[in-house]
Chains A and B, each alone.
Chain A
Amino acid sequence: MKRPGLTWTVVITAWLSTIVWLLALSATARAATGASWEYAPAQAPPPPAGVAPSPFPTNVGTVGDIEFWAPDEGLLITGGTNFVPAGLYAYDGVSWHQLSTVCGSAEGRIAFASQDEWWTISDQRPGLALAVSGGSYLYDAVSLCHFVNGQVVGSYALPVDQTDSYPQMDAAACAGPDDCWFAGGFSGTTGGAFHLYWNGQALTEVDNTDEAHAVASMAVDGSQIYEGVTIAPTDVYSPSENPNAPALIHSIVTDDQADPFHDVLLADNACSGFCPTLPEYGTTSSGAAVTPDELSGFQLSSDGGESGDPATPAQVWALATPATESSPAHPLVLRYTNSDDSWNQIVGAPDLSWPAGQAPAAIAAVPGQNAAWVTLQDDGSNTAEVEQLSSGDGGTSWSVGSEQHLGPDQGVGDLGAAGPITCPAANDCWLATSQGWLFHYTDGTQLSQSSDPVFNGGIGVITYRPPDDGVPNVPGLSQPVDDSLANQAPPVQLAPVPGRRRKARPGPVATDEKVELIRGTDTIDVAFKLSATARVQLVASRRVAVRAAKAGKRRTPRKSATRLVVVARSRVQILRKGKHSIRLTLDPKRWPTSLKLNAARLESAPKKTAKARFR
């Protein structure tokens, strides 16, 4: 008897085998092809209230820097677009999303001090600039923000366009929470380096007294901070410097407070015999030697320190490009490895260079590999172009990989020239184009979402930047509170002097008196107001002439002797505080010449027995 269930089992088993085989084949193919660049744009900022989220990604504007603490915890700083506000974006292993709408900059830098603590070189808040001589560049990358646990805990800036203003800063690095450096250079004829140092408690400006060359970039190798400097034609050399071979890279030794900027001798320790220090600048097409000031400052990239794992063999890459388009210099790439404590010149040697028309722009060391990614700039190109420098024999010989065009290769078109690039791990790199679109070099490994709320969006969007000294404090239009006596000594308390004290005299108890004659009668009405309970009587008097007999008794007789005679009086009343009136009927034949309202204040309210007399 046929068993249909068995037939179905065979069919299902065959299908499952086929699926498993196809999956295995797919994985094999993936491993064979290795990692590749993928289009990985950022999420749009959160929608406003009442608006549905959008499935569309966005470009984040010009990105100043991309830095990673771990492959699933990264940050980028952007100058924003008309739609995306300037600020920071965070990567949590799954996607890039908005982290901060403050402290952004298209020229900004990020320096991790620890997992949840970092610094940014940011644009200054637009404020009052006296006699602005230029454009908005006055505000670009001239202030600092200090982020701790998802908050901006410090903002540092000075008013722009002043003699003591911060210049634009191009480099930032931290060897720990209490050892961060920020640097740049003064523009114009003065030139020179500018450094700010954070010791964990305060930010101070540090001068490089020996060498005054602008700082182009910084990198951390384990706990050691390196800085690359730019040699400008207008720079002033100290007596100890050799203008033909100035130190292009410094190490910062924080403990050496007298001179923390130490020259790094770029020596190839593997070289035997007479070996000049690096770099070899080469010669121009006419055979003349290239001078140091015809190169830009060294862009540094390290694969050690950013991940916080000092056990990783560190390598530091340094890239210098021609200072100007007309410069006869060639691009130079140096590489330092701490395993043999030696520098090597990778590019610039006669056998390895880029073709004419191509200029490297940025470099990113690949952790754990003898490799680095280099971004290229083609004149007028709107495509991000990258190449990989790698060595298959442990660093003895080097080759340049095939040029890749990010955007067209992914089928999304030209999305801007290459911008910042960084590699948090092997086969894991990120690149931002000039328009702010992101590309991810990955081997397909799916990272789990970071559990840190600072990176996975758990803390929301940071919108507050504390005040700093960058915006002058202008008093408001309203009068300030008069605190001129706030700091004076308290008044001296004099001891009371014994003696008779004059008792304060109370004012009149009856006021606002008004007298009216009631029409058609001989009665007057006197209205008044009492300020307290009082005994009141209205007295009407008439002035009359005295008799002569009495007048003659005086030694000095008056010219006209008169006296007041009471012609009418009201009864005595006790009245409460308030308005009252008293009427008094008069005799027309003895009409008074004066009225007097006698009101005597009562110290205490009368007793109940007198209540009946109250009106």
Chain B
Amino acid sequence: MSARRYERRLRETFSPGAAVTLYDAQIVLGDRWRAAERALDQLVLQGELVRLAPRLWVRLGADPDPYKVGARITFPYAFACATALALHGRGEPPDAEIVIASPEQFATFAHAGVVYRHAGFWVPDDVIQIRARTSPKLAAWFASSAAGLARSHVAVSGQREHVWVTDLPRTLRDCLAEPASAGQDERVAAFDLGLA
């Protein structure tokens, strides 16, 4: 298949704002990773994609869903600390930061006003899978956040998208161990007392 057909197929498959891994592109194109990476890089040169991580691209034209981006940086993973607290419906999301625990480290990067940061809180037995739209507070925050994220991001998250997140006890322990990742100290303390 020609390079132009590959590029066209990627454009047809991934809408603006979509997070694309090299593996996704391989599946869509049905080809080896070199061919898929070449097609993705060609779209980067054309200004249609931006490469965020070694194996992750995002289609430009719309702000991506931060949870979809965060869920595709590495695997296995779990949203941790303040990001996890918000997903558990126990707190306000921090200011445009997604904290991700995973055994594989990745460099911190930012896109569309959201910072994606690795945290070393990886305990495989303490992660659960939840739907990203379970928290109404999170939806409200994304709708009114100063980060400039539109409500559509939450709607995309709600399309049966499940994400991995540290469970609540682990989340609280992680936040107490690294309060800077949890936002305000008083809030963490309050949650800790509430659970106790």
Contacts and interface: CB of A to CB of B under 8 A. Distances in A.
A59 interface: yes
Contacts of B29: 83
Interface string A55-88: 0111100000000000000000000011110000
A54 B75 CA distance: 11
Interface stretch (A11-19, A43-51, A220-228): A43-51
B75 A51 contact: yes
Interface string B65-92: 0000001111101000000000000000
A48 B23 contact: yes
A51 to B, nearest CB: 5
Contact of A50 (B26, B27, B75): B75
Interface residues of B, number: 21
A50 B32 CA distance: 18
B147 interface: no
B21 A54 contact: yes
A508 interface: no
B74 A50 contact: yes
A52 interface: yes
A52 B75 contact: yes
Given A47-B75, A52-B71, A82-B35, A58 B23 contact: no
Contacts of A58: 27, 30
A47 B23 contact: yes
Given A47-B75, A52-B75, A53-B75, A83 B21 contact: no
Interface string B8-27: 00000100000001111011
A458 to B, nearest CB: 20
Given A50-B104, A82-B35, A83-B32, A44 B72 contact: no
B183 to A, nearest CB: 27
Nearest to A61: B30
A482 to B, nearest CB: 45
B31 interface: yes
Interface centre among B27, B29, B75 (most CB of A within 10 A): B27
A490 to B, nearest CB: 58
Contacts of B71: 52
A83 B31 CA distance: 5
Contact of A52 (B13, B28, B30, B74): B74
B5 interface: no
A51 B23 contact: yes
Interface centre among A51, A81, A84 (most CB of B within 10 A): A51
Contacts of B111: none
Nearest to A50: B104
A52 B21 contact: yes
Contacts of A56: 13, 24, 27-28
A44 B24 CA distance: 9
Interface centre among A57, A81, A83 (most CB of B within 10 A): A83
B55 interface: yes
Contacts of A54: 21, 23-24, 27
Contacts of B28: 56
Nearest to A46: B23
A44 B27 contact: yes
Nearest to B22: A51
Contacts of B22: 51
Contacts of A82: 30-32, 35
Contacts of B13: 56
A57 B30 CA distance: 10
A52 B23 CA distance: 8
Nearest to A45: B27
Nearest to A56: B27
A80 to B, nearest CB: 10
A53 B104 CA distance: 16
B66 to A, nearest CB: 15
Contacts of A59: 30
Contacts of A84: 30
Given A47-B23, A82-B30, A52 B72 contact: yes
Contacts of A81: 30-31
A139 B77 CA distance: 43
B55 A51 contact: yes
Nearest to A48: B23
B70 to A, nearest CB: 10
A354 B168 CA distance: 66
A101 to B, nearest CB: 15
Interface of A: 44, 47-48, 50-54, 56-59, 81-84
Given A50-B74, A54-B21, A82-B35, 9 more contacts: A47-B23, A50-B75, A51-B23, A54-B24, A56-B13, A83-B27, A83-B29, A83-B31, A84-B30
The 8 nearest A-B residue pairs measured at CB? A52-B75, A82-B31, A44-B27, A56-B27, A52-B72, A81-B30, A83-B30, A54-B24
9 contacts: A51-B21, A51-B23, A51-B75, A52-B74, A54-B27, A57-B27, A58-B27, A59-B30, A82-B31
